[in-house]
Structure 1
Amino acid sequence: MSVIELQNVSRAFTVSRRTGWRRTRREVRAVDDLTFSVEPGEVMGYIGPNGAGKSTTIKMLTGILVPTSGAIRVAGVDPSRNRLKLAKRIGVVFGQRTTLWWDLPLKDSFAVLQKLYGVPRARHRENLATFVELLDLGDLLDVPVRALSLGQRMRGDIAAALLHDPEIVYLDEPTIGLDIISKARLRAFLAQVNKERQITVILTTHDLDDIEALCSRVMVIDHGHQVYDGTLEGLRASQSAPRTLIVDLATSHPPITIPGTTVTKIDGPRQHLTFPTTTSAAPLVAQIAADYPLVDLSVTEPTIESIIAKLYATPPSGIGNS
C-alpha cells in the first residue's frame, strides 16, 4: 500500500500586479494536475528548476498548504485536515532553515523535541545515542545552535527530524552549502537509516550527486508538470545521452575511426570517443585493442547534469515516463 498518494493535484495562486493606476490579477498554477504515489521505504529524488513546484508540493504533503483541486493521502490521512496527527509520523528538514532552538544547546533542542512528540524516554535515549554516534555529534551537544557551523547544524537538524521515528522524511536541500566531507557523511548516514529503518524519503535538491548516491527513483517536474518518473538509468536512456570512451594510446595518433563512435576530443595520445548509451562498450574496446596501440581505456557515463539540462530543453509533449 502506498504511503504517499497524489491524484490530479493542482495548487494555484493569485498574483497581483500594478501597472500605473491599474491593478491586474492572474492565476499562476505552481502545481498542475500532479499524480503519483510513493511506496514505503522508497527514496525518491524530486527535482526541477527553481519555480518548478517542488516546495509547493512538499508544503501540500505536510499539510501547510491545501490543494486547489485533487486529493492527497499521506500515511493514510489527508495532510491538511490532520496536520497534528500527521506531524508525529513525518520529519522535515529544510536546508536553509532550522527546526532547532537558536539559543539553546543542541542537547536541549533534542530534549524539547522529545516532549513535543511524546517519545518514550527510553526510545528517545536509544535514538539519540544512535544518531549522535552516526552523525558525530558528541562534541556538539553542549554547543548553542547559533554557534554551530552550517554542516554541524545540518547534522543536528537531520537527527532532530528522525528522533521521533517518523515513517516519512522530507529533505529539502539537505546538503546545500556543505563541504565535500560533510556531504559524504550525510549521504552515508541517510542511506544507512533508510536501509535499517525503511523510512520513506522524499529528497528535493539541486545537488544531483545526492540523487545518484541515494535515490532509486527520480521524478522531474517543470512548471508544475511531471516530465519524468522512473530510474536514473531510464532517465539517461530517455534522453539518448552518449557514453564516452577515454582511450590512452602509446603515441599520438590520428582520430580513431570505428563505426558508431565519434571522436570529440584529442589531447596528445588521449582520445575521447562518444557512442550511444544503447551500444555495448565491449566490442568497441576489443576493436580498439586489436587495431591501435592501446595503453589504457575507461568508460564514463553521461553526467546527470547534462541529462537534466537536455530534459528541460525538451518540449513537455515529447517526454514520457519510464
Structure 2
Amino acid sequence: MQWKGVMPAMTTAFDAELKVDHAFIGRHARWLRDNGCAGMVCLGSLGEAATLTFDEKISVIQTVAGAVSPQIPVVAAISALSTAEAVALAQSVSRAGAQGLMILPPYVYQGDWREMKAHVAAILAATELPAMLYNNPVAYGTDFTPEQIQELAREFPSLAAVKESSTDVRRVTAIRALTGDRLAIFVGVDDAIVEGIDAGAVGWIAGLVNAFPRESVDLFNFATEGRKQEAFELYRWFLPLLRMDTVPKFVQLIKQVQQEAGLGSARVRPPRLQLEGPELAAAKADYAQAAAHRPAVAKRSTALPR
C-alpha cells in the first residue's frame, strides 16, 4: 500500500431506480486508473456511504477491487453509527479486496478524545490493513488535533496516513512537526491542494477528479515538482470547480459536473436531491466556463470506456 499521489474519493453511481450501478462503477474506476490516479477511495462522504446498506458497501469494494486491483490499491472508508458496525465493516471490506482503510469518526455522536480514540483503536485492531485517519471537523464535528494524531501514530503501527480536511493548511505543518515522516499526509479539500503540497502533503483525496482525472494528476505533479507557473495556470482555471468540494451540496455538484462532462449521472440518493433552479444553472455555468477556457497546460482526460 503506497500512501501517495492522487486518489479519487469515488462517487457511487446509481441507475434510474437508484440502485448501485456496478457496471458503471467498474468502468469509472478503470478510467480513473488509466488517467494516472494512484488508488481508489470508496464509501466516503462523496461516495454517499450514509445512504448505502452494509451489503451494498461490500459489493462496491468488490466491484472496484475487481476492476483495478492489483494494479493500484483500493481504500475503503469506514463509517458507522456504532463502533461494532465499523469493526464489522472493516473486517468485511478486508475480505472483499480492500488494501487499506480510511477511518472516520462515528456518525452523529461527537465524543470526547477518550471515546474517539477507543473507536479508532477498535477498527485498527480489527484487521491487519494499513489505515488512514480522516479528520474533517467541518463535516463531522470531531476534530483530531495534531497532538492526538501523534498519540495514535505512536501507539498504532498500522496507522499510516492522515486525510486532513480541516481546511487549515497549517495543520499539515503541525502534524509533520510532531510526527516527521511517520505519517503520509493527504489534502482532503480540493481548493487547498497546492498550498497543502507546499506545506508537506504527499497525497490528495480528490473530488473533482471524478470528472477531471488527468487535469487533477497534472496539477498535483506540477505542484509536487515545483513547476509553479504551470501549477498556477492550471490551478487558477480549476479553482471554480474545485471549490464545489467545500460546500454542503458537494455531492450533488460534483455528480452534476460528471453528468455535464458525459462521465456519469447526477443521480443522488435521498435525503439529497438533485440540483435545480439557480443552483443548477450556476453549476452548469461554472462547468461551461471551465470547458470553454481549458488552459494549454492541461491535458484532457481520455474518454470513458463504454
* TM-score normalised over the length of structure 2: 0.41
Q: Select the structure that is richer in strand.
A: 1
* TM-score normalised over the length of structure 1: 0.40
Q: Select the structure that is richer in helix.
A: 2
Work out which of the two has the higher radius of gyration on C-alpha atoms and give 1 or 2: 1
